[in-house]
Amino acid sequence: EAQVTQNPRYLITVTGKKLTVTCSQNMNHEYMSWYRQDPGLGLRQIYYSMNVEVTDKGDVPEGYKVSRKEKRNFPLILESPSPNQTSLYFCASSWGEGGEQYFGPGTRLTVT
Amino acid sequence: GENVEQHPSTLSVQEGDSAVIKCTYSDSASNYFPWYKQELGKRPQLIIDIRSNVGEKKDQRIAVTLNKTAKHFSLHITETQPEDSAVYFCAASIPGGFKTIFGAGTRLFVKA
Protein backbone atom coordinates (compact mmCIF):
# COMPACT_ATOMS: atom_id res chain seq x y z
CA GLU A 1 0.00 0.00 0.00
CA ALA A 2 1.34 3.42 -1.02
CA GLN A 3 1.79 5.52 2.07
CA VAL A 4 3.67 8.10 4.09
CA THR A 5 4.41 7.13 7.67
CA GLN A 6 5.50 9.28 10.60
CA ASN A 7 6.78 8.36 14.03
CA PRO A 8 6.00 9.02 16.75
CA ARG A 9 2.35 10.01 16.38
CA TYR A 10 2.27 11.73 19.75
CA LEU A 11 5.15 13.17 21.74
CA ILE A 12 5.34 15.17 24.95
CA THR A 13 8.76 16.49 25.80
CA VAL A 14 10.51 19.22 27.76
CA THR A 15 12.23 22.36 26.62
CA GLY A 16 15.73 21.76 25.29
CA LYS A 17 15.58 17.99 24.89
CA LYS A 18 16.58 17.08 21.34
CA LEU A 19 14.08 15.05 19.38
CA THR A 20 13.63 13.59 15.91
CA VAL A 21 10.39 12.90 14.07
CA THR A 22 10.83 10.35 11.33
CA CYS A 23 9.07 10.35 7.97
CA SER A 24 9.18 7.61 5.38
CA GLN A 25 7.45 7.09 2.03
CA ASN A 26 7.27 4.01 -0.17
CA MET A 27 6.18 5.68 -3.42
CA ASN A 28 9.67 6.48 -4.72
CA HIS A 29 8.79 10.18 -4.60
CA GLU A 30 11.62 12.65 -5.09
CA TYR A 31 9.95 15.55 -3.32
CA MET A 32 9.30 15.59 0.43
CA SER A 33 8.26 18.33 2.81
CA TRP A 34 7.51 19.12 6.44
CA TYR A 35 4.63 21.32 7.60
CA ARG A 36 3.34 22.50 10.91
CA GLN A 37 -0.36 23.12 11.45
CA ASP A 38 -1.57 25.63 14.01
CA PRO A 39 -5.15 26.86 14.56
CA GLY A 40 -5.98 29.82 12.34
CA LEU A 41 -2.65 29.63 10.51
CA GLY A 42 -3.20 26.72 8.18
CA LEU A 43 -0.26 24.61 7.08
CA ARG A 44 3.10 26.30 7.07
CA GLN A 45 6.04 24.76 5.27
CA ILE A 46 9.14 24.23 7.40
CA TYR A 47 11.61 22.58 4.99
CA TYR A 48 11.39 20.71 1.74
CA SER A 49 13.62 18.44 -0.27
CA MET A 50 13.70 17.89 -4.01
CA ASN A 51 16.08 14.95 -3.94
CA VAL A 52 18.70 13.15 -1.87
CA GLU A 53 21.02 15.71 -0.26
CA VAL A 54 18.95 18.61 -1.67
CA THR A 55 16.97 20.57 0.91
CA ASP A 56 15.70 24.13 1.19
CA LYS A 57 13.92 26.34 3.68
CA GLY A 58 10.20 26.85 3.68
CA ASP A 59 8.43 29.69 5.42
CA VAL A 60 9.16 28.78 9.05
CA PRO A 61 12.54 26.97 9.26
CA GLU A 62 13.84 28.54 12.48
CA GLY A 63 14.52 25.96 15.19
CA TYR A 64 14.32 22.97 12.84
CA LYS A 65 16.78 20.86 10.89
CA VAL A 66 16.26 18.21 8.24
CA SER A 67 18.35 15.72 6.34
CA ARG A 68 17.75 13.64 3.21
CA LYS A 69 20.32 10.88 3.07
CA GLU A 70 17.98 8.37 1.44
CA LYS A 71 15.17 8.94 -1.01
CA ARG A 72 12.50 7.38 1.20
CA ASN A 73 13.34 9.12 4.51
CA PHE A 74 13.13 12.76 5.56
CA PRO A 75 13.52 13.20 9.33
CA LEU A 76 12.72 16.44 11.14
CA ILE A 77 15.10 17.35 13.94
CA LEU A 78 14.45 19.78 16.79
CA GLU A 79 17.83 20.33 18.43
CA SER A 80 16.48 22.39 21.35
CA PRO A 81 12.69 22.37 21.34
CA SER A 82 10.80 25.30 22.83
CA PRO A 83 7.12 25.65 23.82
CA ASN A 84 6.36 27.67 20.67
CA GLN A 85 7.12 24.53 18.66
CA THR A 86 4.13 22.80 20.19
CA SER A 87 2.11 21.96 17.10
CA LEU A 88 0.75 19.28 14.77
CA TYR A 89 3.40 18.26 12.24
CA PHE A 90 2.78 16.70 8.84
CA CYS A 91 5.25 15.15 6.45
CA ALA A 92 4.29 15.00 2.77
CA SER A 93 5.74 13.59 -0.43
CA SER A 94 5.15 14.15 -4.13
CA TRP A 95 6.41 12.95 -7.50
CA GLY A 96 7.48 16.51 -8.32
CA GLU A 97 6.68 20.18 -8.24
CA GLY A 98 3.15 20.82 -9.34
CA GLY A 99 2.06 17.41 -8.15
CA GLU A 100 -0.30 16.08 -5.52
CA GLN A 101 1.19 15.94 -2.06
CA TYR A 102 0.53 12.79 -0.02
CA PHE A 103 0.47 13.54 3.67
CA GLY A 104 1.49 11.38 6.58
CA PRO A 105 -0.87 10.86 9.54
CA GLY A 106 0.61 13.70 11.57
CA THR A 107 2.66 13.98 14.76
CA ARG A 108 1.24 15.93 17.67
CA LEU A 109 4.13 17.47 19.59
CA THR A 110 3.84 19.15 22.97
CA VAL A 111 6.85 20.94 24.45
CA THR A 112 6.53 21.92 28.11
CA GLY B 1 7.44 36.22 -0.56
CA GLU B 2 4.25 34.45 -1.61
CA ASN B 3 1.17 34.98 0.50
CA VAL B 4 -2.19 33.23 0.17
CA GLU B 5 -5.33 34.65 1.73
CA GLN B 6 -8.42 32.48 2.08
CA HIS B 7 -12.01 33.50 2.80
CA PRO B 8 -14.25 32.87 4.57
CA SER B 9 -12.71 31.24 7.61
CA THR B 10 -16.03 29.57 8.45
CA LEU B 11 -18.91 28.70 6.15
CA SER B 12 -22.22 27.14 7.09
CA VAL B 13 -24.65 25.94 4.40
CA GLN B 14 -27.78 23.85 4.21
CA GLU B 15 -27.52 20.42 2.63
CA GLY B 16 -28.07 20.73 -1.10
CA ASP B 17 -26.88 24.33 -1.30
CA SER B 18 -23.66 25.44 -2.98
CA ALA B 19 -20.50 26.51 -1.18
CA VAL B 20 -17.81 28.84 -2.52
CA ILE B 21 -14.39 29.40 -0.98
CA LYS B 22 -12.07 32.07 -2.36
CA CYS B 23 -8.30 32.50 -2.28
CA THR B 24 -5.97 35.22 -3.49
CA TYR B 25 -2.23 34.88 -4.01
CA SER B 26 0.50 37.49 -4.27
CA ASP B 27 3.26 35.95 -6.41
CA SER B 28 2.35 36.09 -10.10
CA ALA B 29 4.91 33.35 -10.78
CA SER B 30 2.76 30.79 -8.95
CA ASN B 31 1.59 28.16 -11.39
CA TYR B 32 -0.06 25.34 -9.46
CA PHE B 33 -3.09 25.71 -7.21
CA PRO B 34 -4.32 22.64 -5.29
CA TRP B 35 -7.20 22.32 -2.87
CA TYR B 36 -7.00 19.96 0.09
CA LYS B 37 -9.75 18.66 2.35
CA GLN B 38 -9.02 17.77 5.95
CA GLU B 39 -11.61 15.89 7.96
CA LEU B 40 -11.50 16.08 11.72
CA GLY B 41 -8.44 14.28 13.07
CA LYS B 42 -7.29 13.21 9.62
CA ARG B 43 -4.56 14.19 7.21
CA PRO B 44 -5.14 16.66 4.34
CA GLN B 45 -6.07 15.04 1.04
CA LEU B 46 -6.11 16.56 -2.43
CA ILE B 47 -9.58 17.02 -3.87
CA ILE B 48 -8.85 19.06 -6.99
CA ASP B 49 -6.09 21.16 -8.50
CA ILE B 50 -5.58 23.57 -11.36
CA ARG B 51 -2.56 24.81 -13.26
CA SER B 52 -1.97 28.33 -14.45
CA ASN B 53 -2.65 27.54 -18.11
CA VAL B 54 -6.25 26.49 -17.34
CA GLY B 55 -9.16 28.71 -16.31
CA GLU B 56 -11.54 26.13 -14.93
CA LYS B 57 -11.61 22.49 -13.93
CA LYS B 58 -14.50 20.35 -12.80
CA ASP B 59 -14.78 16.97 -11.11
CA GLN B 60 -18.36 15.90 -10.40
CA ARG B 61 -19.69 18.27 -7.71
CA ILE B 62 -16.42 20.13 -7.29
CA ALA B 63 -15.01 22.83 -9.54
CA VAL B 64 -12.12 25.25 -9.33
CA THR B 65 -11.78 28.51 -11.26
CA LEU B 66 -8.61 30.56 -11.72
CA ASN B 67 -8.27 34.22 -12.64
CA LYS B 68 -4.57 34.85 -13.25
CA THR B 69 -5.03 38.54 -13.92
CA ALA B 70 -6.70 39.13 -10.59
CA LYS B 71 -4.56 36.46 -8.88
CA HIS B 72 -7.43 34.64 -7.32
CA PHE B 73 -8.92 31.17 -7.48
CA SER B 74 -12.05 29.66 -6.03
CA LEU B 75 -13.46 26.30 -5.00
CA HIS B 76 -17.10 25.60 -5.82
CA ILE B 77 -18.99 22.70 -4.26
CA THR B 78 -22.49 22.09 -5.56
CA GLU B 79 -25.26 20.00 -3.97
CA THR B 80 -23.42 19.89 -0.67
CA GLN B 81 -23.77 16.84 1.54
CA PRO B 82 -23.05 16.38 5.28
CA GLU B 83 -19.90 14.43 4.39
CA ASP B 84 -18.53 17.59 2.75
CA SER B 85 -18.17 19.05 6.26
CA ALA B 86 -14.42 19.53 6.80
CA VAL B 87 -11.66 22.11 6.66
CA TYR B 88 -10.61 23.10 3.15
CA PHE B 89 -7.20 24.55 2.33
CA CYS B 90 -6.12 26.29 -0.84
CA ALA B 91 -2.45 26.50 -1.77
CA ALA B 92 -0.15 28.05 -4.32
CA SER B 93 3.15 26.67 -5.57
CA ILE B 94 6.00 28.57 -7.16
CA PRO B 95 7.86 26.85 -10.00
CA GLY B 96 11.49 25.85 -9.71
CA GLY B 97 11.22 24.15 -6.35
CA PHE B 98 8.72 22.69 -3.92
CA LYS B 99 7.78 25.81 -2.03
CA THR B 100 4.08 25.65 -1.24
CA ILE B 101 2.07 28.30 0.58
CA PHE B 102 -1.26 27.31 2.10
CA GLY B 103 -4.20 29.48 3.00
CA ALA B 104 -5.39 29.55 6.61
CA GLY B 105 -8.29 27.21 5.86
CA THR B 106 -12.09 27.33 5.71
CA ARG B 107 -14.19 25.27 8.06
CA LEU B 108 -17.28 24.16 6.14
CA PHE B 109 -20.38 22.98 7.98
CA VAL B 110 -23.14 21.32 5.97
CA LYS B 111 -26.36 21.12 7.95
CA ALA B 112 -28.66 18.22 7.21
DSSP for A31-86 reads: EEEEEEEETTTEEEEEEEEEETTEEEE-S--TT-EE--SSTTB--EEESS--GGG-
Beta bridge partners of A61: none
Looking at the partner chain, which of B31, B104, B105 has a beta carbon nearest the beta carbon of A98? B31
The predicted-structure confidence for A87-109, as pLDDT tens digits, reads as follows 999 999 999 888 899 999 999 99
Instruction: Please judge whether B46 and A100 are an interchain contact, meaning their C-beta atoms are less than 8 angstroms apart.
Output: yes
Closest by CA to A48, choosing from A109, A8, A101, is A101
Q: Does A45 touch chain B (CB under 8 A)?
A: yes
Q: Per-residue pLDDT tens for B17-34?
A: 999 999 999 999 999 999
A44/B43 Cβ within 8 A: no
Q: Is the confidence at residue A2, as pLDDT, over 90? A: no
Q: Which of A64, B55, B3 is nearest to A55 (CA)?
A: A64
User: pLDDT category, A5, cuts 50, 70, 90?
Assistant: very high
| pLDDT tens-digit series, residues A10-44 | 999 999 999 999 999 999 999 999 999 999 999 99
Whether A9 has a pLDDT exceeding 80, the answer reads yes
> Which chain B residues are Cβ-neighbours of A33 within 8 angstroms?
98, 100
- Whether B97 shows a pLDDT value over 80: the answer reads no
Q: A28: exposed, middle or buried (C-beta count within 10 Å: 0-12, 13-18, 19+)?
A: exposed
Spatial neighbors of A12 by CB under 8 A, at least 6 apart, are A109, A110, A112
- Cα–Cα nearest to A60, from B101, B89, B46, B31: B101
Nearest chain B alpha carbon to A6: B43
Whether A108 and chain B come into contact, CB under 8 Å, resolves to no
pLDDT in tens, B43-96: 999 999 999 888 999 999 999 999 999 999 999 999 999 999 999 999 999 887
Chain B CB contacts of A101 below 8 Å: 34, 36, 44, 46, 100
In the sheet with B19-25, reading across from the earlier edge strand, the strands are: B4-7, B19-25, B72-77, B62-67, B56-59
The DSSP H or E segment spanning B25 is strand B19-25
User: What is the chain A residue with the closest CA to B30?
Assistant: A98
Apex CA B60: angle with CA B82 and CA A31, to 5°? 95
Q: Return d(Cα B59, Cα B57) in angstroms, integer.
A: 7
Q: Which residue of A has its CA nearest to B107?
A: A40
How far B57 CA sits from the closest chain A CA (Å)? 15
